[in-house]
Amino acid sequence: MQTLDTTLLIIGGGPGGYVAAIRAGQLGIPTVLVEGQALGGTCLNIGCIPSKALIHVAEQFHQTEAHAHKSNIGIKVAAPSLDITQSVAWKDGIVDRLTTGVAALLKKNDVKVIHGWAKVIDGKLVEIDGQDLRIRCEHLLLATGSSSVELPMLPLGGAVISSTEALSPSTLPKRLTVVGGGYIGLELGIVYRKLGVEVSVVEARERILPTYDSELTQPVAESLKKLGVKLYLGHSVEGFDAADKRLRVRTPDGGELALDTDQVLVAVGRRPRTKGFNLEALALKMNGAAVAIDERCQTSMRNVWAIGDVAGEPMLAHRAMAQGEMVAELIAGKQRVFEPTAIAAVCFTDPEIVVAGKTPETAKEEGLDCLVAQFPFAANGRAMTLESKSGFVRVVARRDNHLIVGWQAVGVGVSELSTAFAQSLEMGARLEDVAGTIHAHPTLGEAVQEAALRALGHALHI
């Protein structure tokens, strides 16, 4: 068997793994990256990028349909029709451009990419399945990501699909039931609804997006109602009868309900991918289902590192990338720790939600006495010109020294505010810093400044 020697061996070419590889290459560390499926991982191939592409298609279709029906802004068009094959091909084109770009960056930085499934032998040795190849390394970086959680009573196959299949439909069903009211289920549910599918969402808990506070999720709940998405909150799934296309659901009072549906999308969360590649051989310390790591992304075994989804929550691409970059620098001998003040999280629902740092509730739980203020988009000129007045920006800041500890927003296009939020938190901005910064007019960002002004007791436009 052929043995390849390297300094750094990375298992997984998602945003965590490929960024670690690029940075390691820049720093001159001999690096091998093993990827079993496609470079770019979940994020580029079956996650962030394809979902946002389809959200764009659905929004364009929905807007055109709305203008054909009744336009407030004077646009007259005929009713649109949809070629879903063309939409999916367009989405695949974007994925292709991005993954090809990743391959080129890896090559440019002298990273050796091996296509195959890695199997761990020990902390310094990995075998590639079905290839006569072993790789010996000084540092092993686990970046194997996560996979969709499956429900035992709802096995995937046929009409029961995961987000992966939902992102590449060959035809659209007449009716779709989404199981799970988290961000992935809602983003995709809204896409299908805007493309004309009758959509229902079954969620075991009492609210959609249960990890966000209800003030933030309220505008999304209202929008779902307006779009005609049926919500079954507090309902749990019992099983699917494929022959009669019926999803059996337990109601909150213990009764049974049958929902007629052509497809069922299971979106009940993701689990770190730690099985199937002999990781058990390392007997690493675990943190629940995830590989336990310290603030340098070191596992319990020396020179074995873990980043991204395999190391647990928050399972977000930008966190995986930041960890990947840091681990490469640590291996190169730089002093680094992973201690972000905040990692912004965005729900690309309609409207969008963004949270960064502490919410009023988490600040209170931590014993912080905080000022909380919000500024509604109903009083923001730019929001009106975008035909969207729902939502707000909220700031949370310490009462004693006005240090900003958290931002939240809900509204059309607020995902782009995540940058300002993360920067102000990371730079230790106070309310006066944001309030005293001239924000361009007319922008949604003015609501950020106004929220800070309001916390100081002198908002100008409300």
- Residues with catalytic roles: 441
Pairing status of strand 345-347 against strand 352-357 = antiparallel
Residue 180 known to bind ligand = yes
What Rg value do the Cα atoms of the chain yield, rounded? Answer: 24
Instruction: Report, in Å, the least distance between residue 109 CB and ligand FAD.
Output: 17
Nearer to ligand FAD, 17 or 25 (CB): 17
Residue 309 known to bind ligand = yes
Residue 324 known to bind ligand = no
Instruction: Report, in Å, the least distance between residue 367 CB and ligand FAD.
Output: 30
303, exposed or middle or buried, with CB in 10 Å at 0-12, 13-18, 19+?
A: middle
Tokens in use for 255? 């009764």
Residue 384 known to bind ligand = no
Find out whether the peptide bond into 340 is cis, omega within 30 degrees of 0.
Answer: no
Nearer to ligand FAD, 124 or 389 (CB): 124
Residue 226 known to bind ligand = no
Instruction: Report, in Å, the least distance between residue 40 CB and ligand FAD.
Output: 7
Nearer to ligand FAD, 184 or 331 (CB): 184
Instruction: Report, in Å, the least distance between residue 390 CB and ligand FAD.
Output: 21
Tokens in use for 367? 């014993």
Nearer to ligand FAD, 120 or 452 (CB): 120
Interface with ligand FAD by CB under 6 A: which residues?
A: 11-17, 34-37, 41-43, 47-48, 51, 117-118, 143-146, 163, 184, 273, 277, 308-309, 315-318, 320, 348
Tokens in use for 185? 């289920």
Query: Which secondary-structure segment (H or E) carries 395?
Result: strand 392-398
What are the start-end ranges of the E strands in 102-235? 112-115, 118-122, 125-128, 133-142, 146-148, 160-161, 175-179, 198-203, 230-233
Tokens in use for 261? 């549906």
Cβ contact 71:37 at 8 Å: no
Instruction: Report, in Å, the least distance between residue 118 CB and ligand FAD.
Output: 4
Please count the other Cβ atoms lying within 10 Å of the Cβ belonging to residue 35. 26
Residue 123 known to bind ligand = no
Q: Which residues pair with 161 in a beta bridge?
A: 265
Q: Answer left, alpha or beta for residue 382, where phi above 0 means left and psi between -120 and 50 means alpha.
A: alpha
Distance CA 338, CA 348 (A): 26
Give 314's contacts (C-beta < 8 A, 6+ positions apart). Answer: 343, 345
Residue 69 known to bind ligand = no
Tokens in use for 429? 């901005």
Residue 233 known to bind ligand = no
Handedness of CA 221, 56, 315, 320 (dihedral sign): negative
Nearer to ligand FAD, 418 or 449 (CB): 418
Nearer to ligand FAD, 197 or 249 (CB): 197
Nearer to ligand FAD, 13 or 25 (CB): 13
Nearer to ligand FAD, 55 or 383 (CB): 55
Cβ contact 359:421 at 8 Å: no
Instruction: Report, in Å, the least distance between residue 240 CB and ligand FAD.
Output: 21
Instruction: Report, in Å, the least distance between residue 39 CB and ligand FAD.
Output: 7
Instruction: Report, in Å, the least distance between residue 267 CB and ligand FAD.
Output: 8
Tokens in use for 87? 């939409």
Q: What are phi and psi of 445, to 5 degrees?
A: -60, -25
Query: How distant, in Å, are the alpha carbons of 5, 119, 124, 296, 429 from that of 282?
Result: 20, 12, 10, 19, 43
Residue 234 known to bind ligand = no
Residue 203 known to bind ligand = yes
Cβ contact 162:188 at 8 Å: no
Q: What are phi and psi of 346, to 5 degrees?
A: -120, 135
Binding-site annotation, residues: 52, 144-146, 180-187, 203, 269, 309, 315-318
Binding-site annotation, residues for NAD(+): 180-187, 203, 269
Binding-site annotation, residues for FAD: 52, 144-146, 309, 315-318
